[in-house]
A and B are shown apart, each in its own frame.
Chain A
């Protein structure tokens, strides 16, 4: 945090962009050109790789599938986390601290630990290869993080707000809808951002729980990477496209991002 101009963040951001730049350049090349040697700009830019992805359902449905289960996960996580965060913020009750910790431990857990039981449980339920299976599986890390962030935001809303609402005869439902939710709207946006991010980038579970119909783009890339190891340009184009939902999400919440990273606690 400084008032003087410092080149450090500019250099850092520029370095971060190098791999992204490289990815975009490769997506505009042909495999022949990539194999032919290193050039910093595509000699004959081509959109053939992107055209192939957009003309093949096997490819583009991967983005649709991933987007669907991620959005389902974000909705479930936020809907169950809001009342839970409210409880942790406003009430003291036996076991509150342990419960709060219990939630957080799951956030820290490796997806690899839960891989086998998830496959077992969802096949017993007949839910393998459905969106809801992945959306629920991803809740184990997203519900805790959502509770944690929202708890911070709710705690920054004065208690007097609740009390005066109750005195005015508001029920909990009306209080949540009309008073609390508008107050913590930035918190909800930021929570959505975090849940989106962690669900969007996860692949191990998303891949294991899907076969064809709900296969996310990442898993399709893995398969293609195995079969067509040579098709670097196509995978680069698929990678570039996989960044777009994230970028849209960033632009959507950019004004709240810095506060969101404080988990609502420092402001």
Chain B
């Protein structure tokens, strides 16, 4: 075992960086959550006061519910759509590369620009969506919460579905042609091929896609804020907005800290659930290739 301690040496730089930009800030947040501040730098221990305040606040639960609802909504759209497009992609060749390049463009669009694009598309009268809806005799009314939610879901679908497509596409490309030939000989239907060959091979890619899409939509901030400013009313005020509002606008460090800690615990639980599914063996999921020293 002693030659394995060198592993800690290899990990040291990464641990150092993560301590600086992850662990220490998180410790600050935890510290805020159990203290009250007076005159800037005087911290007084207040125990679980902030947590009680947050956990009895209807605003917090409403924002949490909106965030969860939004995540589930975009997952329900993006995952099936992503799988479908990946299944229909040409396996290789120029056309395939061409699609991949174009699909990657929304992924590399800065969040502020994504928000800005959808703000402009939904401008009254001169936006493409509003004008398009008007020409069909529909009223694209950005003061209607249902329309606003639809816009945000559409925006997220535009921004991130390609991520699911590319993950699934990579998974599908790994299936050897022999599998398809064997299925063909057995007279398997398209559905059977999907259900028994493609879907199992997509397990890793799909779990990863669901995890990353869930988390990233759960923490959505900039795009949604640019399009809606959290409104109309508070109908699109998500947990991140609530948190930034509390911590930086009202400058309520304690309450912001408590929201952050609860937020972090939710992230921790969901991540752990997925982690045990994605990575059954060793640390990185490549355990089967390891030869453990005795």
Contact = CB atoms under 8 A, between A and B. Distances in A.
B44 interface: no
Contact of B219 (A88, A111, A144): A111
A235 interface: yes
B277 interface: no
B247 A116 contact: yes
Interface residues of B, number: 113
Nearest to A18: B128
A44 B5 CA distance: 68
Nearest to A66: B110
B267 A93 contact: no
Nearest to B12: A83
6 interchain residue pairs of minimum CB distance: A246-B108, A110-B219, A155-B286, A262-B170, A117-B28, A100-B283
Given A247-B108, A257-B100, A84 B172 contact: no
A188 interface: no
Contact of A115 (B97, B222, B244): B244
Interface stretch (B54-62, B140-148, B161-169): B161-169
A261 B162 CA distance: 11
A161 interface: no
Given A136-B17, A265-B204, 9 more contacts: A16-B106, A23-B117, A93-B5, A97-B282, A101-B271, A148-B284, A201-B111, A257-B166, A266-B170
A139 interface: yes
B116 interface: yes
Contacts of A258: 100, 166, 169-170, 173
Interface in B81-106: 84-91, 97, 99-106
A146 B87 CA distance: 28
15 contacts: A17-B102, A19-B117, A84-B14, A90-B290, A99-B11, A108-B215, A109-B219, A159-B291, A204-B222, A219-B112, A251-B101, A261-B167, A262-B171, A265-B204, A266-B205
Given A108-B271, A143-B18, A267-B174, A202 B111 contact: yes
Given A8-B84, A243-B108, A236 B120 contact: yes
Interface string A90-127: 11110011011101111111111111111011000000
A68 to B, nearest CB: 15
Interface string A57-82: 00000000000000000001001110
Given A1-B172, A87-B11, A152-B284, A261 B166 contact: yes
Counting contact residues on chain A (CB < 8 A from B), the size range is 35 or more
Contacts of A225: 116, 226
Contacts of A245: 108
Interface of B: 1, 4-11, 13-18, 20-22, 24-26, 28-29, 32, 84-91, 97, 99-114, 116-118, 120-121, 123, 125-126, 128, 131, 158, 161-162, 165-167, 169-175, 198, 201, 204-205, 208, 211, 215, 218-219, 221-222, 226, 239-240, 243-244, 247-248, 253, 256-257, 260, 263-264, 267-268, 270-272, 275, 279, 282-286, 289-293
Given A1-B175, A2-B90, A115-B244, A87 B104 contact: no
A92 B110 contact: no
A254 B117 contact: no
Contacts of A83: 9-11, 13-14
A34 interface: yes
A1 B248 contact: no
A101 B26 CA distance: 16
Contact of B25 (A107, A118, A257): A118
A266 B174 contact: yes
Contacts of B113: 218, 221, 239, 242-243
Given A96-B282, A109-B264, A112-B221, A1 B169 contact: yes
B103 A151 contact: no
Contacts of A202: 111
A38 B286 CA distance: 54
Given A218-B112, A243-B113, A259-B170, A20 B105 contact: yes
